[in-house]
Structure 1
Amino acid sequence: MEKVLEVSKTKRRTYDDSYHNYGFTCMIKSGIEVPQCVLCLKVLANDSMKPHQLKQDLRNKHAEHMDKSKPFFEAKERELKQAKLDSTGSFHIQAQAITEASYALFYHIARDKKPHTIGETLVKPCLLECTNIILEDPAAQNIADLSLSDSTGKSMIDDMSADTRRQVIEKIKSSPMFAIKLYESNDVASILQLIVFARYVHRETIKEEFLLCSPLTETTTAADVMNLVSDFFSKEHLD
Protein backbone atom coordinates (compact mmCIF):
# COMPACT_ATOMS: atom_id res chain seq x y z
CA MET A 1 0.00 0.00 0.00
CA GLU A 2 1.48 3.31 -1.08
CA LYS A 3 1.52 6.05 1.53
CA VAL A 4 0.97 9.63 0.38
CA LEU A 5 2.76 12.24 2.46
CA GLU A 6 1.37 15.78 2.60
CA VAL A 7 4.00 18.47 2.88
CA SER A 8 2.76 21.60 4.59
CA LYS A 9 3.99 24.76 3.03
CA THR A 10 5.12 27.53 5.34
CA LYS A 11 3.34 30.77 4.69
CA ARG A 12 5.73 33.20 3.04
CA ARG A 13 5.52 36.80 4.14
CA THR A 14 5.74 39.67 1.68
CA TYR A 15 7.58 42.94 2.11
CA ASP A 16 5.62 46.10 2.89
CA ASP A 17 6.89 49.64 2.19
CA SER A 18 6.15 50.61 5.80
CA TYR A 19 9.07 48.40 6.91
CA HIS A 20 11.34 51.28 5.85
CA ASN A 21 10.29 52.88 9.16
CA TYR A 22 12.24 50.17 10.98
CA GLY A 23 15.35 50.40 8.80
CA PHE A 24 14.68 47.39 6.57
CA THR A 25 14.61 46.96 2.81
CA CYS A 26 13.84 43.82 0.83
CA MET A 27 16.12 41.45 -1.06
CA ILE A 28 15.46 38.18 -2.89
CA LYS A 29 17.21 35.12 -1.48
CA SER A 30 16.61 31.74 -3.14
CA GLY A 31 13.49 33.17 -4.74
CA ILE A 32 12.06 34.35 -1.40
CA GLU A 33 11.66 37.92 -0.13
CA VAL A 34 13.71 38.52 3.03
CA PRO A 35 14.28 41.71 5.06
CA GLN A 36 17.72 43.33 5.06
CA CYS A 37 18.83 46.01 7.52
CA VAL A 38 20.02 49.13 5.66
CA LEU A 39 22.34 50.06 8.57
CA CYS A 40 24.36 46.89 9.21
CA LEU A 41 23.28 44.93 6.08
CA LYS A 42 22.15 41.96 8.20
CA VAL A 43 19.67 39.68 6.41
CA LEU A 44 16.85 38.10 8.45
CA ALA A 45 14.63 35.13 7.67
CA ASN A 46 11.35 35.54 5.83
CA ASP A 47 9.32 34.77 8.97
CA SER A 48 10.97 37.79 10.65
CA MET A 49 9.13 40.11 8.27
CA LYS A 50 6.74 41.34 10.96
CA PRO A 51 6.53 44.97 12.16
CA HIS A 52 7.09 44.16 15.85
CA GLN A 53 10.09 41.92 15.12
CA LEU A 54 11.74 44.42 12.79
CA LYS A 55 11.17 47.23 15.29
CA GLN A 56 12.63 45.08 18.06
CA ASP A 57 15.70 44.32 15.94
CA LEU A 58 16.20 48.06 15.32
CA ARG A 59 15.87 48.76 19.05
CA ASN A 60 18.34 46.01 19.99
CA LYS A 61 20.97 46.66 17.31
CA HIS A 62 20.64 50.36 16.49
CA ALA A 63 18.92 52.06 19.43
CA GLU A 64 20.54 55.38 18.50
CA HIS A 65 18.46 55.42 15.29
CA MET A 66 15.07 54.66 16.87
CA ASP A 67 13.90 58.26 16.40
CA LYS A 68 15.01 58.51 12.77
CA SER A 69 12.33 59.19 10.17
CA LYS A 70 11.48 57.17 7.05
CA PRO A 71 13.48 59.44 4.63
CA PHE A 72 16.63 58.73 6.66
CA PHE A 73 16.28 54.96 6.14
CA GLU A 74 15.30 55.45 2.49
CA ALA A 75 18.53 57.41 1.96
CA LYS A 76 20.46 54.54 3.57
CA GLU A 77 18.69 52.11 1.23
CA ARG A 78 19.76 54.16 -1.81
CA GLU A 79 23.35 54.08 -0.55
CA LEU A 80 23.09 50.31 -0.15
CA LYS A 81 21.77 49.80 -3.69
CA GLN A 82 24.47 52.04 -5.14
CA ALA A 83 27.14 50.15 -3.22
CA LYS A 84 25.90 46.88 -4.73
CA LEU A 85 26.50 48.31 -8.21
CA ASP A 86 30.17 48.87 -7.53
CA SER A 87 32.32 46.28 -5.74
CA THR A 88 34.88 48.96 -4.92
CA GLY A 89 32.35 50.79 -2.78
CA SER A 90 33.02 54.14 -4.48
CA PHE A 91 29.32 54.74 -5.13
CA HIS A 92 28.55 53.97 -1.49
CA ILE A 93 31.18 56.42 -0.27
CA GLN A 94 29.97 59.11 -2.68
CA ALA A 95 26.30 58.72 -1.66
CA GLN A 96 27.24 58.79 2.00
CA ALA A 97 29.24 61.99 1.49
CA ILE A 98 26.29 63.64 -0.32
CA THR A 99 23.91 62.74 2.52
CA GLU A 100 26.41 64.02 5.09
CA ALA A 101 26.79 67.28 3.15
CA SER A 102 23.00 67.74 3.13
CA TYR A 103 22.89 67.32 6.90
CA ALA A 104 25.76 69.80 7.31
CA LEU A 105 23.93 72.43 5.24
CA PHE A 106 20.66 72.04 7.12
CA TYR A 107 22.56 72.17 10.42
CA HIS A 108 23.80 75.66 9.56
CA ILE A 109 20.35 76.71 8.29
CA ALA A 110 18.71 75.56 11.53
CA ARG A 111 21.45 77.03 13.74
CA ASP A 112 21.04 80.47 12.12
CA LYS A 113 17.24 80.18 12.44
CA LYS A 114 16.63 80.50 8.71
CA PRO A 115 13.63 78.90 6.93
CA HIS A 116 14.70 75.43 5.73
CA THR A 117 13.12 76.14 2.32
CA ILE A 118 16.15 78.24 1.38
CA GLY A 119 18.13 75.00 1.04
CA GLU A 120 16.43 74.29 -2.28
CA THR A 121 15.52 77.82 -3.38
CA LEU A 122 18.77 79.66 -2.56
CA VAL A 123 21.66 77.53 -1.27
CA LYS A 124 21.60 74.79 -3.94
CA PRO A 125 21.32 77.18 -6.95
CA CYS A 126 24.23 79.21 -5.55
CA LEU A 127 26.35 76.09 -5.03
CA LEU A 128 25.59 74.83 -8.53
CA GLU A 129 26.48 78.12 -10.18
CA CYS A 130 29.72 78.51 -8.22
CA THR A 131 30.70 74.88 -8.87
CA ASN A 132 30.07 75.21 -12.60
CA ILE A 133 32.30 78.28 -12.71
CA ILE A 134 35.16 76.99 -10.54
CA LEU A 135 35.21 73.19 -10.85
CA GLU A 136 34.73 70.47 -13.45
CA ASP A 137 31.51 68.70 -14.46
CA PRO A 138 31.76 65.69 -12.07
CA ALA A 139 31.88 67.99 -9.05
CA ALA A 140 28.92 69.95 -10.37
CA GLN A 141 26.96 66.70 -10.72
CA ASN A 142 27.68 65.85 -7.08
CA ILE A 143 26.24 69.22 -6.04
CA ALA A 144 23.18 68.55 -8.19
CA ASP A 145 22.67 65.29 -6.30
CA LEU A 146 22.40 67.12 -2.96
CA SER A 147 18.95 66.57 -1.51
CA LEU A 148 17.84 69.99 -0.24
CA SER A 149 14.08 69.88 -0.80
CA ASP A 150 11.58 71.28 1.69
CA SER A 151 10.52 67.83 2.96
CA THR A 152 14.12 66.58 3.17
CA GLY A 153 15.13 69.71 5.07
CA LYS A 154 12.37 69.25 7.63
CA SER A 155 13.23 65.57 8.03
CA MET A 156 16.96 66.21 8.50
CA ILE A 157 16.40 69.07 10.95
CA ASP A 158 14.00 66.84 12.91
CA ASP A 159 16.64 64.08 12.92
CA MET A 160 19.34 66.44 14.22
CA SER A 161 16.96 67.88 16.82
CA ALA A 162 16.03 64.41 18.09
CA ASP A 163 19.71 63.39 18.18
CA THR A 164 20.68 66.53 20.12
CA ARG A 165 17.91 65.95 22.66
CA ARG A 166 18.96 62.30 23.01
CA GLN A 167 22.53 63.38 23.80
CA VAL A 168 21.34 65.91 26.37
CA ILE A 169 19.06 63.34 28.04
CA GLU A 170 21.89 60.79 28.22
CA LYS A 171 24.13 63.39 29.88
CA ILE A 172 21.37 64.25 32.36
CA LYS A 173 20.94 60.57 33.23
CA SER A 174 24.67 60.23 33.90
CA SER A 175 24.74 63.39 36.06
CA PRO A 176 24.66 62.92 39.88
CA MET A 177 21.94 65.58 40.04
CA PHE A 178 20.05 67.98 37.81
CA ALA A 179 17.55 70.82 37.99
CA ILE A 180 15.05 72.32 35.56
CA LYS A 181 13.88 75.86 34.80
CA LEU A 182 10.50 76.54 33.18
CA TYR A 183 9.38 79.52 31.11
CA GLU A 184 6.17 80.38 29.33
CA SER A 185 6.23 82.31 26.06
CA ASN A 186 3.67 83.13 23.36
CA ASP A 187 4.64 82.15 19.82
CA VAL A 188 3.71 84.02 16.62
CA ALA A 189 0.31 82.29 16.60
CA SER A 190 -0.36 83.48 20.19
CA ILE A 191 -0.14 79.90 21.49
CA LEU A 192 1.50 79.59 24.89
CA GLN A 193 4.65 77.46 24.75
CA LEU A 194 6.18 75.84 27.80
CA ILE A 195 9.99 75.96 27.54
CA VAL A 196 12.13 73.79 29.80
CA PHE A 197 15.87 74.10 30.40
CA ALA A 198 17.97 71.58 32.31
CA ARG A 199 21.05 72.26 34.40
CA TYR A 200 23.28 69.28 35.14
CA VAL A 201 26.87 68.20 35.79
CA HIS A 202 28.96 66.85 32.91
CA ARG A 203 32.66 66.12 33.30
CA GLU A 204 32.83 68.19 36.49
CA THR A 205 31.32 71.19 34.71
CA ILE A 206 27.83 72.61 35.19
CA LYS A 207 25.98 72.66 31.87
CA GLU A 208 22.69 74.29 30.94
CA GLU A 209 20.83 73.03 27.87
CA PHE A 210 17.45 73.43 26.22
CA LEU A 211 15.37 70.33 26.98
CA LEU A 212 11.76 70.76 25.88
CA CYS A 213 9.34 73.10 24.14
CA SER A 214 5.69 72.05 24.10
CA PRO A 215 2.43 74.01 23.61
CA LEU A 216 -0.15 74.50 26.34
CA THR A 217 -3.11 74.40 23.98
CA GLU A 218 -6.02 74.42 26.43
CA THR A 219 -5.53 75.68 29.97
CA THR A 220 -2.29 76.86 31.55
CA THR A 221 -2.70 75.89 35.18
CA ALA A 222 0.08 74.56 37.39
CA ALA A 223 -1.48 71.11 37.01
CA ASP A 224 -1.21 71.36 33.20
CA VAL A 225 2.46 72.29 33.45
CA MET A 226 3.12 69.49 35.94
CA ASN A 227 1.36 66.89 33.79
CA LEU A 228 3.25 67.93 30.65
CA VAL A 229 6.65 67.76 32.36
CA SER A 230 5.79 64.50 34.14
CA ASP A 231 4.71 62.88 30.86
CA PHE A 232 7.99 63.95 29.23
CA PHE A 233 10.04 62.59 32.15
CA SER A 234 8.16 59.30 32.00
CA LYS A 235 8.61 58.96 28.22
CA GLU A 236 12.36 59.64 28.45
CA HIS A 237 12.82 57.53 31.63
CA LEU A 238 14.10 60.46 33.68
CA ASP A 239 13.85 60.10 37.43
Structure 2
Amino acid sequence: MAVNVAKKWKYNDDINNCGFTLILADGIEKPQCVLCFKMLGIDSVRSAKLKHHLMTIHPQNAENVPSFFKRREQFQKKETGFECCFPTSEVKCSEASCEASLEIARKKKVHTIGETLIKPFAAKMVKRVLGESSAHKIQQISLSNDTVKRRISEMSANIMEQMIKEIKLYPTSTFTEQLDELTDVSSRARLLVFIMYVFMHDIKDEQLFCTQLETTIKALDVVEMLTSLFKANGITWKNFCGVCTPAMLGSKSGLQKHVKEAAPVLKWFTV
Protein backbone atom coordinates (compact mmCIF):
# COMPACT_ATOMS: atom_id res chain seq x y z
CA MET A 1 0.00 0.00 0.00
CA ALA A 2 1.20 3.53 -0.69
CA VAL A 3 2.09 5.88 2.13
CA ASN A 4 0.91 9.44 2.55
CA VAL A 5 4.08 11.48 2.30
CA ALA A 6 5.22 15.02 1.74
CA LYS A 7 6.83 15.03 -1.68
CA LYS A 8 10.46 16.04 -1.23
CA TRP A 9 12.65 14.62 -3.97
CA LYS A 10 16.34 14.00 -3.78
CA TYR A 11 18.71 12.64 -6.40
CA ASN A 12 21.30 10.07 -5.38
CA ASP A 13 23.61 8.40 -7.89
CA ASP A 14 23.77 5.01 -6.16
CA ILE A 15 20.06 4.47 -5.64
CA ASN A 16 19.05 6.11 -8.92
CA ASN A 17 21.20 3.66 -10.84
CA CYS A 18 18.93 0.96 -9.36
CA GLY A 19 15.75 2.77 -10.43
CA PHE A 20 14.96 4.48 -7.10
CA THR A 21 14.72 7.97 -5.73
CA LEU A 22 14.53 9.27 -2.15
CA ILE A 23 11.41 10.92 -0.76
CA LEU A 24 10.62 12.23 2.70
CA ALA A 25 8.05 10.12 4.59
CA ASP A 26 7.22 11.07 8.18
CA GLY A 27 10.49 12.96 8.41
CA ILE A 28 12.54 9.99 7.17
CA GLU A 29 14.04 9.62 3.71
CA LYS A 30 12.90 6.36 2.12
CA PRO A 31 13.57 4.84 -1.33
CA GLN A 32 10.72 4.79 -3.86
CA CYS A 33 10.81 2.98 -7.19
CA VAL A 34 10.50 5.38 -10.14
CA LEU A 35 8.83 2.64 -12.21
CA CYS A 36 6.07 1.26 -9.96
CA PHE A 37 6.15 3.92 -7.17
CA LYS A 38 6.53 1.25 -4.47
CA MET A 39 8.15 2.60 -1.33
CA LEU A 40 10.63 0.44 0.58
CA GLY A 41 11.73 0.71 4.20
CA ILE A 42 14.66 2.79 5.34
CA ASP A 43 16.67 -0.43 5.83
CA SER A 44 16.41 -1.05 2.08
CA VAL A 45 18.71 1.85 1.10
CA ARG A 46 21.34 -0.62 -0.03
CA SER A 47 22.29 -1.45 -3.59
CA ALA A 48 21.70 -5.19 -3.12
CA LYS A 49 18.09 -4.78 -1.99
CA LEU A 50 17.31 -2.10 -4.56
CA LYS A 51 18.80 -4.19 -7.37
CA HIS A 52 16.83 -7.20 -6.13
CA HIS A 53 13.58 -5.22 -6.52
CA LEU A 54 14.62 -4.08 -10.00
CA MET A 55 15.60 -7.61 -11.17
CA THR A 56 12.48 -9.35 -9.80
CA ILE A 57 9.75 -6.75 -10.39
CA HIS A 58 11.09 -4.93 -13.47
CA PRO A 59 13.45 -7.37 -15.24
CA GLN A 60 12.64 -5.75 -18.58
CA ASN A 61 14.23 -2.51 -17.32
CA ALA A 62 17.20 -4.07 -15.54
CA GLU A 63 19.61 -3.25 -18.38
CA ASN A 64 18.58 0.39 -18.76
CA VAL A 65 21.28 2.99 -18.35
CA PRO A 66 21.20 5.36 -15.32
CA SER A 67 20.05 8.26 -17.51
CA PHE A 68 16.79 6.40 -18.17
CA PHE A 69 15.99 6.24 -14.45
CA LYS A 70 16.99 9.87 -13.95
CA ARG A 71 14.56 10.95 -16.71
CA ARG A 72 11.83 8.87 -15.02
CA GLU A 73 12.59 10.58 -11.71
CA GLN A 74 12.47 14.03 -13.26
CA PHE A 75 9.15 13.20 -14.95
CA GLN A 76 7.83 11.84 -11.65
CA LYS A 77 8.86 15.03 -9.88
CA LYS A 78 7.27 17.21 -12.54
CA GLU A 79 3.97 15.41 -12.35
CA THR A 80 4.04 15.20 -8.50
CA GLY A 81 4.35 11.44 -8.28
CA PHE A 82 1.18 9.47 -7.64
CA GLU A 83 -1.00 12.50 -8.12
CA CYS A 84 -0.30 12.37 -11.87
CA CYS A 85 -2.14 9.03 -12.06
CA PHE A 86 -4.80 9.14 -9.34
CA PRO A 87 -6.66 11.84 -7.42
CA THR A 88 -5.13 12.22 -3.97
CA SER A 89 -8.45 11.60 -2.19
CA GLU A 90 -9.04 8.37 -4.12
CA VAL A 91 -5.60 7.01 -3.21
CA LYS A 92 -6.02 7.89 0.46
CA CYS A 93 -9.48 6.32 0.62
CA SER A 94 -8.16 3.13 -0.96
CA GLU A 95 -5.29 3.04 1.52
CA ALA A 96 -7.69 3.51 4.45
CA SER A 97 -9.98 0.80 3.09
CA CYS A 98 -7.08 -1.64 2.81
CA GLU A 99 -5.83 -0.85 6.31
CA ALA A 100 -9.29 -1.33 7.81
CA SER A 101 -9.79 -4.59 5.89
CA LEU A 102 -6.43 -5.86 7.13
CA GLU A 103 -7.38 -5.15 10.74
CA ILE A 104 -10.76 -6.86 10.28
CA ALA A 105 -8.94 -9.95 9.02
CA ARG A 106 -6.39 -9.85 11.84
CA LYS A 107 -9.10 -9.55 14.48
CA LYS A 108 -11.12 -12.33 12.76
CA LYS A 109 -14.27 -10.22 12.60
CA VAL A 110 -17.13 -10.55 10.12
CA HIS A 111 -16.64 -8.43 7.00
CA THR A 112 -19.85 -6.46 7.57
CA ILE A 113 -18.37 -4.83 10.69
CA GLY A 114 -16.57 -2.35 8.47
CA GLU A 115 -19.78 -0.82 7.13
CA THR A 116 -22.00 -1.35 10.18
CA LEU A 117 -19.63 -0.30 12.98
CA ILE A 118 -16.18 0.97 12.00
CA LYS A 119 -17.15 3.47 9.31
CA PRO A 120 -20.20 5.05 11.05
CA PHE A 121 -18.41 5.56 14.36
CA ALA A 122 -15.22 6.76 12.67
CA ALA A 123 -17.32 9.39 10.88
CA LYS A 124 -18.98 10.46 14.15
CA MET A 125 -15.66 10.79 15.97
CA VAL A 126 -14.05 12.73 13.13
CA LYS A 127 -17.09 15.03 12.88
CA ARG A 128 -16.91 15.71 16.61
CA VAL A 129 -13.18 16.46 16.59
CA LEU A 130 -12.45 17.82 13.10
CA GLY A 131 -15.79 18.98 11.74
CA GLU A 132 -18.36 18.13 9.07
CA SER A 133 -16.02 18.38 6.06
CA SER A 134 -13.60 15.84 7.51
CA ALA A 135 -16.46 13.49 8.38
CA HIS A 136 -17.62 13.67 4.76
CA LYS A 137 -14.20 12.40 3.65
CA ILE A 138 -14.56 9.38 5.95
CA GLN A 139 -17.84 8.55 4.23
CA GLN A 140 -15.96 8.18 0.93
CA ILE A 141 -14.02 5.17 2.27
CA SER A 142 -15.53 1.96 0.91
CA LEU A 143 -15.95 -0.71 3.61
CA SER A 144 -18.83 -2.75 2.25
CA ASN A 145 -18.92 -6.51 2.77
CA ASP A 146 -17.84 -7.16 -0.84
CA THR A 147 -15.07 -4.55 -0.71
CA VAL A 148 -13.56 -5.91 2.52
CA LYS A 149 -13.70 -9.44 1.13
CA ARG A 150 -12.01 -8.34 -2.10
CA ARG A 151 -9.31 -6.37 -0.26
CA ILE A 152 -8.44 -9.34 1.95
CA SER A 153 -8.34 -11.69 -1.05
CA GLU A 154 -6.11 -9.28 -3.00
CA MET A 155 -3.69 -8.89 -0.08
CA SER A 156 -3.59 -12.65 0.44
CA ALA A 157 -2.90 -13.25 -3.26
CA ASN A 158 -0.17 -10.61 -3.24
CA ILE A 159 1.56 -12.20 -0.24
CA MET A 160 1.41 -15.62 -1.89
CA GLU A 161 2.84 -14.16 -5.11
CA GLN A 162 5.75 -12.62 -3.19
CA MET A 163 6.53 -15.94 -1.50
CA ILE A 164 6.45 -17.82 -4.82
CA LYS A 165 8.89 -15.28 -6.31
CA GLU A 166 11.23 -15.66 -3.35
CA ILE A 167 11.15 -19.47 -3.66
CA LYS A 168 11.99 -19.29 -7.36
CA LEU A 169 14.93 -16.96 -6.69
CA TYR A 170 16.67 -19.67 -4.65
CA PRO A 171 19.02 -21.69 -6.91
CA THR A 172 17.30 -25.04 -6.27
CA SER A 173 13.79 -23.56 -5.80
CA THR A 174 13.09 -26.14 -3.10
CA PHE A 175 11.05 -25.89 0.07
CA THR A 176 9.39 -27.97 2.77
CA GLU A 177 5.67 -28.04 3.45
CA GLN A 178 3.44 -28.62 6.44
CA LEU A 179 -0.25 -29.23 5.83
CA ASP A 180 -3.40 -30.35 7.55
CA GLU A 181 -7.14 -30.48 6.99
CA LEU A 182 -9.49 -28.63 9.34
CA THR A 183 -13.17 -27.75 9.63
CA ASP A 184 -14.26 -24.14 10.13
CA VAL A 185 -17.25 -22.80 12.09
CA SER A 186 -19.52 -23.29 9.07
CA SER A 187 -18.56 -27.01 8.90
CA ARG A 188 -16.62 -26.57 5.66
CA ALA A 189 -13.42 -28.53 5.18
CA ARG A 190 -10.33 -26.41 4.56
CA LEU A 191 -6.74 -27.21 3.66
CA LEU A 192 -4.10 -25.24 5.56
CA VAL A 193 -0.56 -25.16 4.11
CA PHE A 194 2.64 -23.71 5.61
CA ILE A 195 5.98 -23.66 3.82
CA MET A 196 9.60 -23.21 4.89
CA TYR A 197 12.27 -22.03 2.45
CA VAL A 198 15.57 -20.18 2.23
CA PHE A 199 15.70 -16.58 1.02
CA MET A 200 18.70 -14.23 1.16
CA HIS A 201 20.49 -16.50 3.67
CA ASP A 202 17.45 -16.55 5.99
CA ILE A 203 15.04 -19.42 6.71
CA LYS A 204 11.47 -18.21 6.27
CA ASP A 205 8.43 -20.01 7.68
CA GLU A 206 5.16 -18.69 6.22
CA GLN A 207 1.53 -19.66 5.73
CA LEU A 208 1.14 -20.25 2.00
CA PHE A 209 -2.64 -20.49 1.82
CA CYS A 210 -5.84 -21.75 3.43
CA THR A 211 -8.41 -22.91 0.90
CA GLN A 212 -11.71 -24.71 0.96
CA LEU A 213 -11.86 -28.35 -0.16
CA GLU A 214 -14.70 -28.23 -2.66
CA THR A 215 -15.31 -31.99 -3.02
CA THR A 216 -14.13 -34.43 -0.34
CA ILE A 217 -11.22 -34.61 2.09
CA LYS A 218 -9.77 -37.80 0.63
CA ALA A 219 -6.01 -37.88 0.10
CA LEU A 220 -6.36 -37.96 -3.68
CA ASP A 221 -8.52 -34.81 -3.64
CA VAL A 222 -5.94 -33.03 -1.49
CA VAL A 223 -3.11 -33.99 -3.85
CA GLU A 224 -5.12 -32.87 -6.90
CA MET A 225 -5.88 -29.50 -5.29
CA LEU A 226 -2.24 -28.95 -4.32
CA THR A 227 -1.06 -29.97 -7.78
CA SER A 228 -3.50 -27.55 -9.42
CA LEU A 229 -2.53 -24.64 -7.16
CA PHE A 230 1.20 -25.23 -7.57
CA LYS A 231 0.91 -25.66 -11.33
CA ALA A 232 -0.85 -22.29 -11.57
CA ASN A 233 2.18 -20.73 -9.83
CA GLY A 234 4.89 -22.56 -11.77
CA ILE A 235 5.78 -25.04 -9.00
CA THR A 236 5.89 -28.83 -9.22
CA TRP A 237 6.23 -31.62 -6.69
CA LYS A 238 9.91 -31.80 -7.62
CA ASN A 239 10.37 -28.51 -5.77
CA PHE A 240 9.49 -30.28 -2.51
CA CYS A 241 12.29 -31.60 -0.31
CA GLY A 242 10.09 -32.47 2.67
CA VAL A 243 6.48 -32.75 3.86
CA CYS A 244 5.17 -32.69 7.41
CA THR A 245 1.59 -33.60 8.36
CA PRO A 246 -0.10 -35.02 11.46
CA ALA A 247 -2.78 -36.89 9.52
CA MET A 248 -3.53 -38.73 6.26
CA LEU A 249 -0.38 -40.86 6.53
CA GLY A 250 -1.55 -44.16 5.04
CA SER A 251 1.40 -45.83 3.31
CA LYS A 252 -0.84 -47.64 0.84
CA SER A 253 -3.76 -45.35 0.08
CA GLY A 254 -3.15 -42.15 2.08
CA LEU A 255 -1.63 -38.81 1.23
CA GLN A 256 1.91 -40.07 1.75
CA LYS A 257 1.52 -42.68 -0.98
CA HIS A 258 0.16 -40.19 -3.55
CA VAL A 259 2.78 -37.54 -2.78
CA LYS A 260 5.69 -39.95 -2.95
CA GLU A 261 4.48 -41.12 -6.35
CA ALA A 262 4.90 -37.52 -7.56
CA ALA A 263 8.13 -36.83 -5.61
CA PRO A 264 9.88 -40.10 -4.63
CA VAL A 265 12.96 -38.47 -3.04
CA LEU A 266 11.27 -36.12 -0.56
CA LYS A 267 11.47 -36.67 3.19
CA TRP A 268 8.30 -37.31 5.19
CA PHE A 269 7.91 -36.09 8.76
CA THR A 270 5.17 -36.48 11.38
CA VAL A 271 4.30 -34.34 14.39
Would you call these one fold, judging by a TM-score over 0.5? yes
Question: Partners of 2:156 and 2:134 in 1: how far apart?
Answer: 30
Residue 233 (structure 1) aligns with: 230
Residue 124 (structure 1) aligns with: 119
Q: Which amino acid aligns with 1:224?
A: D
1:195 is paired with a residue whose SS is: strand
Q: Which runs of 5+ in 1 are unaligned?
A: 1-39, 41-60, 63-87
1:114 is paired with a residue whose SS is: coil
Deviations 1:97-140 (A, max 9, x none): 11111111111111111111111111111111111111033222
1:148 is paired with a residue whose SS is: coil
Residue 92 (structure 1) aligns with: 87
Is contact 2:181–2:217 with CA below 8 Å preserved after alignment? no
Question: Partners of 1:205 and 1:234 in 2: how far apart?
Answer: 26
After superposition, the CA RMSD in angstroms is: 2.8
TM-score, scaled relative to structure 1: 0.59
Is contact 2:196–2:205 with CA below 8 Å preserved after alignment? yes
Measure how far apart 1:203 and its partner are: 2.0
Deviations 1:10-34 (A, max 9, x none): xxxxxxxxxxxxxxxxxxxxxxxxx
- 1:111 matched to 2:106: yes
Residue 190 (structure 1) aligns with: 187
Measure how far apart 1:210 and its partner are: 1.1
Aligned length: 157
Residue 44 (structure 2) aligns with: none
Query: Where do residues 14-25 of structure 1 align in structure 2 (5 Å cutoff)?
Result: none
Question: Partners of 2:184 and 2:141 in 1: how far apart?
Answer: 33
Residue 139 (structure 1) aligns with: 134
Q: 1:196 to 1:139 in 2, by over 3 A?
A: same
Q: Which runs of 5+ in 2 are unaligned?
A: 1-35, 37-56, 59-82, 237-271
Q: Which amino acid aligns with 2:179?
A: L
Q: Which amino acid aligns with 1:106?
A: S
Q: 1:117 to 1:209 in 2, by over 3 A?
A: same
Identity percentage over the alignment?
Answer: 37
1:182 is paired with a residue whose SS is: strand
More displaced stretch, 114-123 vs 223-232: 223-232
Runs (4 or more) in structure 1 with deviation over 4 Å come to 88-91
- 1:167 matched to 2:162: yes
Is contact 2:111–2:148 with CA below 8 Å preserved after alignment? yes
Measure how far apart 1:155 and its partner are: 1.5
Measure how far apart 1:91 and its partner are: 7.8
Question: Partners of 2:116 and 2:85 in 1: how far apart?
Answer: 29
Residue among 187, 190, 211 paired with 1:214: 211
Measure how far apart 1:189 and its partner are: 3.1
Q: Which amino acid aligns with 1:94?
A: S
Q: 1:214 to 1:107 in 2, by over 3 A?
A: closer
1:103 is paired with a residue whose SS is: helix
Question: Partners of 1:131 and 1:158 in 2: how far apart?
Answer: 29
2:87 is paired with a residue whose SS is: helix
Question: Partners of 1:136 and 1:197 in 2: how far apart?
Answer: 47
Q: 1:91 to 1:138 in 2, by over 3 A?
A: farther
